[in-house]
Structure 1
Amino acid sequence: MRLMHKTQPSWPRQASDFYRATLLSLALLMPGGLLAATGLNELDDPQLRGTATYRYLGLPLYNGRLFTPGGAAFDWNKDFALELQYRRNVSKKVLINSTLDEMDRIGRSAPVRDQLEVCFKAVKKGDRYLAVSDGPNEVSFWLNGAKTCTMRHPGIKRSFMSVFLGEKSRSAAFTQKLKGQ
């Protein structure tokens, strides 16, 4: 008897694993499933507008992707999402300080250090941050699909996103590629 028990096929377990994987795949592919996992569901009909790689002294720091409603042309008056996939490890302190320094440099300073302390975490190579605007005064952040915060301040969308998408960004080529120009 014992021998028969050990030699029985394990197809019920394999079938169970198959069904579990199938259900997970369907949940991710259903409308809002994959988007909900990334934060893009906050944007109306998000479509990829442009991609670019930001380099500093020739070294790639991050890949950017801009999503607009229906893939339409970039418009500050419309909500959009910006995803950065990091190509290097970056500490939380560096992320916060460099963001605030860039906002100062481009003339779009905002007193949001305390909010950035909540929003930003250290990133490792391959991590993805997604920033999604909701009107002119809110930007929500997701790190690898998990929401970290919503930053609120008058004009924060323009202040924060101008670091990457504004006329005074560090790299005009990066900005133009993101905007699909």
Structure 2
Amino acid sequence: MAYQRMNPPFPPRPSVYAALASLMLLLPGGLAASPVLGVLNNAELRGTATFRYLGFPIYDAQLFTQGAAPLNWKQDFGLELRYRRNLSKKALVNSTLDEMRRIGRAAPVRAQLEVCFDAVSKGDRYVAISQGPDKVGFWLNGQKVCTMSYPGIKRSFMSIFLGENTRSAAFTQALRGN
């Protein structure tokens, strides 16, 4: 029996592949890849920004709010950080505690952060989703890591990225979608 290769009526173009890849991201399976879209009701992307330290990009951030509305501290929202560098667990824990102190926010105990945080490699994604004012759930690369409970933790933790006294006003404005 002879085998004949079937050729499509026209050769696929790179733009076709790009369109298909974009479409795949919009399918329900693609949406479920981000914990924010699966946990936060009516979550939509509000803003994006890249945080740099001494000019080097550290992470890309995305803010998800309900219906892409402006940030409202009384509403739940999600924050996704996609790391561009490898960082140790110790560096993440220490920098989080340092920033919370610097901006004048109550900080949870180190032991709580050490349960929720792990070392990250380039490309890893941490997601934080508020659950009322006193809880924040954390996911690493799509897997639930922990839920941190602490009075005012949403405002304390999220203010590192979205507050009035962040390290970079331009980063915060872009992330907030302003």
Alignment length, in residue pairs?
158
- Distance between the aligned counterparts of 2:84 and 2:109, measured in 1? 26
- Distance between the aligned counterparts of 1:97 and 1:115, measured in 2? 12
Residues 100 and 109 in structure 1, CA contact (< 8 A), matched pair in contact too = no
TM-score (norm 2): 0.82
The residue type equivalent to 1:111 in the other structure is P
Residues 51 and 60 in structure 2, CA contact (< 8 A), matched pair in contact too = yes
Residues 90 and 123 in structure 1, CA contact (< 8 A), matched pair in contact too = yes
For the pair 1:39 / 2:12, whether they are aligned, the reply is no
TM-score (norm 1): 0.81
- The equivalent residue for 2:27 is 29
- The equivalent residue for 1:109 is 106
The residue type equivalent to 1:157 in the other structure is K
Q: Which has the larger radius of gyration?
A: 1
The residue type equivalent to 2:54 in the other structure is L
For the pair 1:129 / 2:147, whether they are aligned, the reply is no
- Distance between the aligned counterparts of 1:111 and 1:72, measured in 2? 29
- The equivalent residue for 1:57 is 54
The residue type equivalent to 1:177 in the other structure is A
Would you tell me which structure has more helix in proportion to its own residues?
1
| Range with greater deviation from structure 2 (34-43 or 72-81) | 34-43
Moved over 2 A (4+): 33-38
- Distance between the aligned counterparts of 1:112 and 1:88, measured in 2? 26
Residues 108 and 153 in structure 2, CA contact (< 8 A), matched pair in contact too = no
For the pair 1:98 / 2:87, whether they are aligned, the reply is no
Unaligned runs of 5+ in 2: 1-23
| Pairing partner for 2:173 from 148, 173, 176 | 176
- Cα distance, 1:170 vs structure 2: 0.5
* Partner deviation per Cα, 1:96-138 (whole Å, 9 max, x = no partner): 0000000000000323311111110100001110000010000
Q: CA RMSD in A?
A: 2.0
Secondary structure in 2 matching 1:167: coil
Residues 37 and 146 in structure 1, CA contact (< 8 A), matched pair in contact too = no
Unaligned runs of 5+ in 1: 1-25
For the pair 1:148 / 2:145, whether they are aligned, the reply is yes
